[in-house]
Amino acid sequence: MADYDVVVIGAGSTGTAVARDCAMRGLRTLLLERDDIASATVGTCAGMISSGLKYMDEPEIVDMCSDEVVHFLRIARHIIMKNPILTPMLEMSDLSSGGNFAEEYSKRAESRDVPPVLFLTPEDSREIEPSLNPEIIASLYFEEYFIDPFRLCILQALDAKNHGADVKTYCELVDIDVKDGKIVGVVYFNRITREEKRVSTHIVINAAGPWASKVAKFAEAKVDLRLNKGAHVILDRRVVNVGVIAKAVDGRMIYLFPHENTTLLGTTAIDTWEDPDTLTASHDEIEYLLQSMEWVIPSIRDARIIRTMEGVRPLVADWKIPEGKVTRGYEIIDHSSQNIKGLISFTGGKLVMCRHMAEAATDLAAEMLRVETECKTHLEPLPGNEDDVDVLALAKEFDISQHAVERLRARRGTETRMILELTKDHPDWKTTICTCEPVIEAEIRYSIRHEFPQTLNDLRRRVRLGTGPCQATFCTYKAAAILADERELSGHDFQLDILDFLSERWKGKRPSFRREQIIQEEVAQGMYACVGNLDLTLGSVYTRKPWEDWS
């Protein structure tokens, strides 16, 4: 018997959803991720589980997205937020396209528990969002849902594990064994132990996003992708009360979303042939976004850019059409058509479709394995979504600020109580470690014990540590000390972990520097160098992890 029925490659939104579905259907599943969960494309996305109306000329996709939103509200409501959105209009020609959108949106509004689209006068629009340009002639008001993409992936992976899957982070697929035209196994390299391991499997599901072509090549199979770069700019505060969607300089739609205690401005869309591992946002991309949004929010440049965030969309390979016309649907490749049985790959898709994509791939895998299974991923709650949480009562019972408990609830749902219970034996674990969020010590310790983070960066994805306006200036050392305590790390490893974390932050900060920020960064670097005795020149080696050789 083979070691596994299915090996899934990549722990982004797609791979974690596939691993969860396979494990829930009783397939013996291994999930391999070369870095951390949600460390690639999905971690750079806006997290909008949109109604799909941007793609109005693909009605089947609009229907699919609407249905998926309903499923997410059932299985993951604790990590979902509903955001009101305004689309301000500056010209009469905007009104007709707005009319079509309003009609399509309103048809599906009830099922998604949102109101139909409203047309607002300039006065009403500015009452909702005072920073709108006074010259707007009207605006559309509607509501969309957003999910925390990091938590979604972590919860899908944990649920896969709870259903028996093996989940291995920092394990990179380095070869696929094919015998007589059939998948028989994979070889992976464990980046922490530096060991290679071979396991046997009947099926490989390639959910490697922009790296899907590279993964397929290990089996001498082919996946064509149209890689498309997208960049976001993150502003240091909530510059708007509500989301704003506006026409960019080239007629594309861009957005400004208040996100936690910052604001997300995005996104660009540029065909790319660059290595997805080393992309950064360009000056042109930042200016494109700022100038476009400035037309409707004239004060946008008053906010400080704290970082940029860029990712690569692994689009379906439709060529000779503009990027905006490429389908946002997905395709599943059964590589039997290339004479390799047991290999399944994805192209295209979106975060909002990840559960749907997983269901389709798992159906195909089950058919190949000749087992009868039923998908339940749209019915069963993800961990933390089992019940409601009474934030006020918990804040009172554990004598902790209501704000801290509310932020904890938004990441954890019913796990909030389990985390607060830890403070009964350790009252000092109520200490706030990251003040921007806030994150308390008990949550960090809980995450280290139950969510397999290996580094501070991994902790950031699980608890949002260091992602707020101060960009980790004040929480890094405190969190590193907790990680070192839980993991019994040496002083040397403790320092390397901090360097790895700061260099990852630096990657996103560097493209955003303007005027005073350069001086501020000099001060911050001086602080790390003098107080922490950290040689930040080492931190410029982005790809290195704490356990790798930094000498």
Ligand X SMILES: Cc1cc2nc3c(=O)[nH]c(=O)nc-3n(C[C@H](O)[C@H](O)[C@H](O)COP(=O)(O)OP(=O)(O)OC[C@H]3O[C@@H](n4cnc5c(N)ncnc54)[C@H](O)[C@@H]3O)c2cc1C
Q: Which residues bind ligand X (CB under 6 A)?
A: 9-15, 32-35, 39-42, 44-48, 50, 172-173, 207-211, 215, 230, 232, 266-267, 311-313, 349-352
Q: Provide, rounded to whole angstroms, the least separation between the CB of residue 45 and ligand X.
A: 3
Q: Hey, what are 253's tokens?
A: 């739609």
| Contact of 23 with 5, CB cutoff 8 Å | no
Residue with smaller CB distance to ligand X, 281 or 498: 281
Question: What minimum distance in Å lies between the beta carbon of 527 and ligand X?
Answer: 31
- Residue 243 CB, nearest approach to ligand X (Å): 11
Buried b (16+ CB within 10 A) or exposed e, 384-400: bbeeebebeebbeebeb
Which residue has tokens 């937020």?
Answer: 81
Task: For the beta carbon of residue 484, count every other beta carbon within 10 angstroms.
Answer: 17
Minimum CB–partner distance for residue 532 and ligand X (Å): 29
Six-digit token string for 72? 């997410």
Find the helix or strand (DSSP H, E) in which 118 lies: strand 118-120
Is 206 or 416 the residue whose CB approaches ligand X more closely? 206
356: buried, middle or exposed (CB in 10 Å: 19+, 13-18, 0-12)? buried
* Whether the Cβ atoms of residue 7 and residue 203 lie closer than 8 Å to each other: yes
Cα of 100 vs its chain's centroid, Å: 30
Decide whether 243 or 438 has the Cβ nearer to ligand X. 243
Q: Which is nearer to ligand X, 50 or 467 (CB)?
A: 50
Pick the closer one to ligand X by CB: 311 or 546: 311
> Which residues neighbour 365 within 8 Å (Cβ) at sequence distance 6 or greater?
5, 6, 22, 27, 203, 205, 344
We find the least distance from the C-beta atom of residue 386 to ligand X, in angstroms, to be 25
Tokens 């290195």, residue located: 544
Task: Determine the residue with CB nearest ligand X.
Answer: 12
Strand partners, 55: none
Q: Reduce the DSSP state of residue 470 to 3 states and report it.
A: coil
Amino acid letter, residue 398:
F
Name the nearest CA neighbour of 16 among 130, 153, 129: 153
In the complex, minimum distance from the CB of residue 425 to ligand X, in angstroms, rounded to a whole number:
36
CB of 370 to ligand X, least distance (A): 27
Cis peptide before 438 (omega within 30 of 0): yes
Q: How far is the CB of 89 from ligand X (least distance, A)?
A: 23
CB of 34: closest distance to ligand X in angstroms? 4
Distance CA 331, CA 319 (A): 15
Q: Pick between residue 351 and residue 439 the one whose CB is nearest to ligand X.
A: 351
Which one, 240 or 524, has the nearer CB to ligand X?
240
Q: Considering beta carbons, is residue 208 or 256 the nearer one to ligand X?
A: 208
Nearer to ligand X, 42 or 136 (CB): 42
